[in-house]
A = this chain, B = another copy of it.
Amino acid sequence: MRSVRLHSYNQSPSIDLVPEPEISHPFDVLVRIGGAGLCRTDIHIVEGQWREKSGVALPYTLGHENAGWVAAVGSAVEHFSVGDPVIVHPLATCGFCLACRAGNDMHCMSSAFPGIDSDGGFAEVLRTNARALVKLEGGLSPADVAALADAGLTAYHAVRKASPLLPPGSSAVVIGAGGLGHIAIQVLAAVTEAEIIVVDRSEAALDMASSFGAHYQVLADGSEVASVMDLTGGKGVQVVLDFVAEGGAERRGPAMLQRAGSYFVVGYGGTVELATIDIISSELNVVGNLVGSYTDLVELMALAARGSVKLHTAKYPLDAFAQAFEDLQAGRVRGRAILVP
């Protein structure tokens, strides 16, 4: 089959002909890819930023946002049949450790992460395990939802954790209205009645955010803390969801909080620096967020099926990977680039 494989860091991946993966474990499944999202993490992988963390041996197949149809199942798989349309949770987890038992799939003690530490979904067929599959219902098409498998899941997970802090009458700031942020805004609008304030450097992104449900737009021009304070009568907000978390956002985000407020870190790159006197005197919280659980993905699919979360996608044939990659690097992709084999 064709697959997009990275042979060495800082060089363009190539499209290779390789054998299809095979079932090797009773809970393995093969998924015929219907769509695989391309994201900035793929750029970082090619640049070598994940070399040590993933420890993956080159060459290998990229692609960690996958959806398609079940193509084969291991001997012990009972919950899926060949042909089932599925979206693929990014982690193939063990189901035995206490993290898996508690539904915290992202903290599984022995998981695989196809597309990061093993062969991924920029290919005709992907191998993962049966615990990673969520059956698509309500007529959802793999290529339309693939980007929800990772970007959407991460945004959903953070908003879901924040939602108990956001009763009617409260306010939330979303920093960064890009790939994850525009999903977060839709989820906030769906599962809370909070006032949603979006902060971004781009006027175009702010305009789009409004169409997704944001109530107030704040241009990130250095005065964003003051703007948020103005919008909230000087009090600040209950929750800041930071999808940027670098370049100063990580300093300004916590400054937008009211007493007992919570700063949710989703993006990365910068460093949070907070004097302990400020942490205690306002009783602030800093909350890390990592991908999401299997149940988060099931719930996100329910939102997608009823039209509460929509994705903007630009589809490319698998063979056009180089073009898609170049468009992404050049900032020419509107929404999310999806490779369709």
Whether the pair A250, B276 counts as a contact (CB closer than 8 A) is yes
Whether the pair A283, B107 counts as a contact (CB closer than 8 A) is yes
Distance in angstroms between the alpha carbons of A96 and B76 in the assembled complex: 12
Distance in angstroms between the alpha carbons of A166 and B94 in the assembled complex: 24
Whether the pair B276, A268 counts as a contact (CB closer than 8 A) is yes
A318 at the interface (CB under 8 A from B): no
**A159-195 vs B, Cβ < 8 Å mask (1 yes, 0 no):** 0100010011100000000000000000000111100
Return chain B residues, CB-CB under 8 Å to A25: 76
Contact partner of A290 (CB less than 8 A), chosen from B94, B95, B103, B281, is: B281
Distance in angstroms between the alpha carbons of A221 and B76 in the assembled complex: 45
A291 to chain B, nearest CB (A): 9
A131 at the interface (CB under 8 A from B): yes
Number of copies: 4
Distance in angstroms between the alpha carbons of A5 and B116 in the assembled complex: 52
A12 at the interface (CB under 8 A from B): no
Return chain B residues, CB-CB under 8 Å to A272: 272-276, 279, 286
**A85-104 vs B, Cβ < 8 Å mask (1 yes, 0 no):** 00000000011111101111
Known contacts: A107-B259, A107-B283, A298-B169. The answer to whether A193 contacts B303 by CB under 8 A is yes
Distance in angstroms between the alpha carbons of A200 and B98 in the assembled complex: 31
Contact partner of A276 (CB less than 8 A), chosen from B110, B130, B267, is: B267
Q: How many residues of A contact B (CB 8 A)?
A: 72
Return chain B residues, CB-CB under 8 Å to A130: 96
Return chain B residues, CB-CB under 8 Å to A14: none
**A263-282 vs B, Cβ < 8 Å mask (1 yes, 0 no):** 00111111111111101111
Whether the pair B295, A280 counts as a contact (CB closer than 8 A) is no
Contact partner of A102 (CB less than 8 A), chosen from B103, B191, B245, B283, is: B103
Distance in angstroms between the alpha carbons of A76 and B94 in the assembled complex: 11
Return chain B residues, CB-CB under 8 Å to A27: 26, 76
Q: Which residue on B lies nearest to A102, using beta carbons?
A: B103
Whether the pair A75, B26 counts as a contact (CB closer than 8 A) is yes
Extra contacts besides A104-B260, A106-B283, A271-B276 (13): CB < 8 Å: A25-B76, A26-B76, A79-B97, A95-B95, A102-B103, A168-B303, A191-B191, A193-B303, A268-B279, A269-B277, A270-B275, A272-B276, A281-B290
